Amino acid sequence: MEYKIALIPGDGIGPEIVREARKVLDAVCAKFGHTFSYSEVLLGGASIDVHGIPLTEDAVDTAKGSDAVLMGSIGGDAKTSPWYQLEPDKRPEAGLLAIRKALNLFANLRPAYLYQELKEACPLKEEIIGEGFDMIIVRELTGGLYFGERKTTEENGIKTAVDTLSYNENEIRRIAVKAFDIAMKRRKKVTSVDKANVLDSSRLWRSIVEEVAEDYPEVTLEHMLVDNCAMQLVHDPAQFDVILTENMFGDILSDEASMVTGSIGMLSSASLNDTKFGLYEPSHGSAPDIAGQNKANPIATILSAAMMLRYSLDLDKEADAVEEAVQKVLADGWRTGDIMSEGCMLTGTEQMGDLIAAAV
C-alpha cells in the first residue's frame, strides 16, 4: 500500500526525533511491503524563521493532502528566543493551535502506559503501581475555555478578565462517540470527567455522554468529578481504561497521567478529526537545552508513529510491530538519559532509533 505522510520536524529536538521515527517507519515499509512518501512541512519557530509567521496556507494545504501528519515538537526557550518577542498570535504555539483548527482536529488521544521495565522511574509507590496501568485520555480539543470568547476590561481603575467556557451538544457528542469507539477496542470502560456539581457546561456534558452510552451497551460508563479524578490518578491509576473529558480538564489530567508513567519522553499522542485523518506528536516539548546533542528520547515520537499506523492507516499489525520493537529494546536494557537506571545501557537518540528499527 502507498501512503502520503506529512512530516513536521518543528523546533528544538523535533528534527532529531522525527528523523528516528521516519527510520522506524521505513523499517515497517521494508518488512510489510508498503510505500510511504513524505512531504516536509514548516510549523512554529521553523516557519517563523523562513516565512515570518508560524503557519502558512501552503503548509495547511500540504497537510490536508496527506493521509496523516507526524510532528516533532514546537517552540523554544521563552526567555531567550526572539520568537517570543512577537505578538502572541505570531509565536510558535499559535501555529499549532491554528493547524489543529484548520484540520478540525477535535479529538486528542493521550495514552499513559507503564512499561514494566520502567517501573523504577514511576514516582508512585510499588503497592500503588501493582501490575502497572494502561489508560488513554480522550480530550476534546477545539472547544471549551481555550476557544471561547475572552476579553479584559478596566472600569473605575479595576481590571477584569473574562474567559468563556462554552460547549454545544454536537461538540460533546462527537468526542463521546470517539471515546466509546476506542473503549470497544480496549477494556470497554469509559470514565467521563466533568465538574457537574458546579458548571452548566459539565451538566450538559454529562447528559449527552449518557445519551451516547445507550448506543454502547457493552461499555461501562462512570462519571467522575475532575478534582476526584486528579486524586485517583495517583491513588489507583489501574482503575482507568478510557478517560473522556473536555479541553482544559484534559490538558491538566493528561500531563498528570504522563508523569506517573515515569517519563514524558515515553508518551505519544494523536489528534483526530471526524474521518481517519490525524496529526500525531509526542506529548513532550521541544527541549531546546538538549537540541542537537543526541540526547533526546525518540520513543514518544516513534510510538506516535505507531498510533498513526493504527488509527489513520488501519495498519494494526504494523503498529503492533513497532510497539513490540520498543518493548524489546527496553527489555534488552537500552535507555536514553531520561529513563536511565542502574544496570542499563545508556544510548543516544540516533542509536535508539537504530535499535528499534532493527527490532521491527
Closest of 21, 39, 29 to residue 2, by C-alpha: 29
Is 255 assigned a catalytic role? Answer: yes
Provide the sign of the torsion angle of the four alpha carbons 197, 202, 203, 207, taken in this order. Answer: negative
Nearest-angstrom CA–CA distance, 221 and 244? 10
By CB neighbour count within 10 A (0-12 exposed, 13-18 middle, 19+ buried), where does 350 fall?
Answer: middle
Cell numbers found for residue 82:
526572539
Pairwise CA distance, residues 32 & 26, whole Å: 10
Active site residue 146: yes
Beta strands (DSSP E) in 219-323 are 220-225, 242-245, 268-272, 278-282
Nearest to 287 by CA among 279, 276, 298: 298
Distance CA 244, CA 270 (A): 14
Q: Which of 11, 194, 241, 251 is catalytic?
A: 251
Active-site annotation holds for 151: no
Q: Which of 58, 227, 274, 289 is catalytic?
A: 227
Catalytic residue among 188, 255, 328, 354: 255
Catalytic residue selected from 84, 146, 295, 354: 146
For this structure, is 227 an active site residue?
Answer: yes
- Annotated catalytic sites, by residue? 146, 195, 227, 251, 255
